[in-house]
Amino acid sequence: MSSFPLLTVAAALPAVGAVLTAALPAATSAKRRDVNKVLPLGVSVLTLVLAAIVAIRFKPGGARYQMTEYHSWISDFGIGYSLGVDGIAVVLILLTAVLVPVVMLASWHDADPVANDAGTFERNRRTQGFFALILAVEAMVVLSFEATDVFLFYVFFEAMLIPMYFLIGGFGDRTVGEDARQRSYAAVKFLLYNLLGGLIMLAAVIGLYVITAKQGIGTDGHGTFDLGTITQALASGKLHFSPVAEKALFLGFMFAFAVKAPLWPLHTWLPNAMGEATPGVAVLITAVVDKVGTYAMLRFCLQLFPDASKTFGPAILVLSLIGIIYGALLAVGQKDIKRLIAYASISHFGFIIMGIFAMTSQGQAGATLYMVNHGISTAALLLVAGFLMSRRGSRLIADYGGVQKVAPVLAGTFMIGGLATLSLPGLAPFVSEFLVLVGTFTRYPAIGIIATIGIVLAALYVLVLYQRTMTGPVKPEVAGFRDLHARELVVVTPLIALLLFLGVYPRPIADIVNPAVRDTMSDVHRTDPAPAHPITAAQVAAANSQGGGQ
């Protein structure tokens, strides 16, 4: 157990920053508004420093959960404030900490007052409230990645919905008029879908506690929510589920995570939410919050219910395969830039979930890398698209054309983000998508082969998007476009650098992730499939002798 509560501090810092930011006095001038934004930006940068320290202190060859903290919370029900991180949690905390300050810089003016038809300024909410909500989301996401108590995880898994609801409904995208009804619809749909998933998960969480209490797994005759205690009891045979109970509990957890992820057919809230949110908030949705769902599949579904995971694995693979192709097909037909990226993300989440439930080390390592790389590539594409849309005041693809002639840097960064989205070799998502496909193919060849259709469709929707917006004659409305300025360059440069670096050298992330993947494979009692035609000792000896004779 760590002597210094580093994990608590890493989550508490943005939470405290959110409170302090919300408490700032309302700004009456543009200069004062910018001053108010410095505090949350500074807090997010300090959180990034703490996340980097967590990553540096983490030892890939050490204990499974490190920097652990525990304090009794509600002892009568076996609930504890229990934190710890494995390699998968470490890289996702780092991803979150990298993206939040980037999102803040990109969204610097997204909550500023807007002139109405009468030429006066209107503002329904204080500007700093927008940034306070972003910090609140960061705090709850980080705690979700750190929690090793099932009930504690559930609390933050649900609590993050509240600030996200207000970010979507209260600070929605205003590039296409002021249709508050659409924003409200998207926010309510997001909330209701996820609350329904959370309600079903809560029933499963209670069921898990009841079973542990009946079998005496907790202390003083109570049950337990501690992940480590439960998994150890499962491994030793002290805790056992009936097949029906395990399947029911697995489905309760999986439903909530599939909504959050989102997995087809529980995905329909995502295009609405991303379409109505500002580009920065859309990045928070798909690159940060949704990753909690896929992460939880690895941490809770597979560890707590290994037999049910294997039973339902093939069905989930089919759903993920449908999501890959369905999302890509709908992306091809979109006229709205943000909805195109939303449907592309549904396709990408299909790859992530497919890698998780392929039950191979390559598939799960690829899925974890995909979570990181998808977060970076989607952030790059969405934020550059946001800069593009802010110049034109429209998110319709048909309203653009010839942008690369008047804003070549904007067009170039947009291209890199798009090429990363289609997993071009040399950019970060390629490695993860390749590992997912290889890991799936070794156990489920047919699903692995069909999933490659998603790659072809990704090339189609990305290249068509670039062609229609960036090439061709310069439209009159585009002719006066300004290229990326200093703040926007600061936003996109680290994202492009990460896409290039992790595309050619993914080892720093892989070295942290691989031990956690091996532990997860052990939890579900799975090993990688043996080759169809294993190499014999005689063949090895013959190859060695031939090599020595040359």
Q: Is residue 506 part of a domain?
A: yes
How far is 7 from 2, CA to CA, in rounded Å? Answer: 9
Q: Is residue 317 part of a domain?
A: yes
Whether the model clears a pTM of 0.75, i.e. scores above it, the answer is yes
Task: Calculate the alpha carbon distances from 249 to 78, 216, 217, 266, 312 in Å.
Answer: 19, 19, 17, 19, 12
pLDDT score, position 319: 95
pLDDT score, position 120: 44
Asked if 83 contacts 68 with a C-beta cutoff of 8 angstroms, the reply is yes
Task: Please count the structural domains in the chain.
Answer: 1
Task: Calculate the alpha carbon distances from 442 to 282, 314, 361, 437 in Å.
Answer: 35, 14, 11, 9
Q: Is the dihedral of CA 312, 267, 324, 299 positive or negative?
A: negative
DSSP-derived secondary structure for 426-476: TSHHHHHHHHHHHHHHHH-HHHHHHHTHHHHHHHHHHHHHHHHHHSSSPPT
How far is 460 from 493, CA to CA, in rounded Å? Answer: 26
Cis check: omega of the bond before 314, within 30 degrees of 0: no
Q: Is residue 162 part of a domain?
A: no
Single out the residue of 475, 465, 479, 477 nearest to residue 382, CA to CA: 465
Asked if 143 contacts 154 with a C-beta cutoff of 8 angstroms, the reply is no
Rg (CA), the chain: 24
pLDDT score, position 2: 52
Query: Per-residue confidence of the chain (550 residues) as pLDDT tens digits?
Result: 557 899 999 999 999 999 998 888 776 666 777 778 889 999 999 999 999 999 999 998 888 899 988 888 887 777 889 999 999 999 999 999 999 999 999 988 887 766 554 444 444 456 788 899 999 999 999 999 999 999 999 999 999 999 999 999 888 765 444 456 777 888 889 999 999 999 999 999 999 988 988 888 867 667 888 888 888 888 888 888 889 999 999 999 999 999 998 899 998 999 988 888 889 999 999 999 999 999 999 999 999 999 899 999 999 999 999 999 999 999 998 998 999 999 999 999 999 999 999 989 899 999 999 999 999 999 999 999 999 988 888 888 988 988 889 999 999 999 999 999 988 999 999 999 999 999 999 999 999 999 999 999 999 999 999 999 998 888 888 888 898 899 999 999 999 999 999 999 998 999 999 998 888 888 877 777 766 555 555 544 554 555 444 4
Half-sphere exposure of 373 (CA within 13 A, CB side): 38
| Single-letter code of the amino acid located at 170 | G
pLDDT score, position 174: 55
DSSP-derived secondary structure for 253-304: HHHHHHHHTTPTTS-THHHHHHHHS-HHHHHIIIIIIHHHHHHHIIIIIHHH
Structure tokens at 371: 């979570």
Asked if 367 contacts 296 with a C-beta cutoff of 8 angstroms, the reply is no
Q: Is residue 29 part of a domain?
A: no
Q: In a 10 Å sphere around its CB, with 0-12 CB exposed, 13-18 middle and 19+ buried, how is residue 20 labelled?
A: middle
Q: Is residue 324 part of a domain?
A: yes
pLDDT score, position 549: 43
Task: Calculate the alpha carbon distances from 477 to 218, 400, 482 in Å.
Answer: 67, 8, 12
Q: Is the dihedral of CA 274, 137, 154, 230 positive or negative?
A: positive
Single out the residue of 277, 264, 248 nearest to residue 338, CA to CA: 277
Q: Is residue 292 part of a domain?
A: no
Q: Is the dihedral of CA 45, 47, 51, 56 positive or negative?
A: positive
Single out the residue of 419, 412, 324 nearest to residue 373, CA to CA: 419
Asked if 133 contacts 167 with a C-beta cutoff of 8 angstroms, the reply is yes
**Do β-strands 79-85 and 66-74 pair in parallel, antiparallel, or remain unpaired?**
antiparallel
Task: Calculate the alpha carbon distances from 311 to 82, 197, 324 in Å.
Answer: 30, 21, 22
Q: Is residue 421 part of a domain?
A: yes
| Domain extent at residue 359 | 310-531
Single out the residue of 416, 420, 423 nearest to residue 451, CA to CA: 423
pLDDT score, position 121: 46
Task: Compute the residue count for the chain.
Answer: 550
pLDDT score, position 316: 95
Q: Is residue 239 part of a domain?
A: no
CB count within 10 Å of CB 523 equals 19
Asked if 86 contacts 64 with a C-beta cutoff of 8 angstroms, the reply is yes
Asked if 73 contacts 58 with a C-beta cutoff of 8 angstroms, the reply is no
Q: Is the dihedral of CA 18, 21, 26, 29 positive or negative?
A: negative
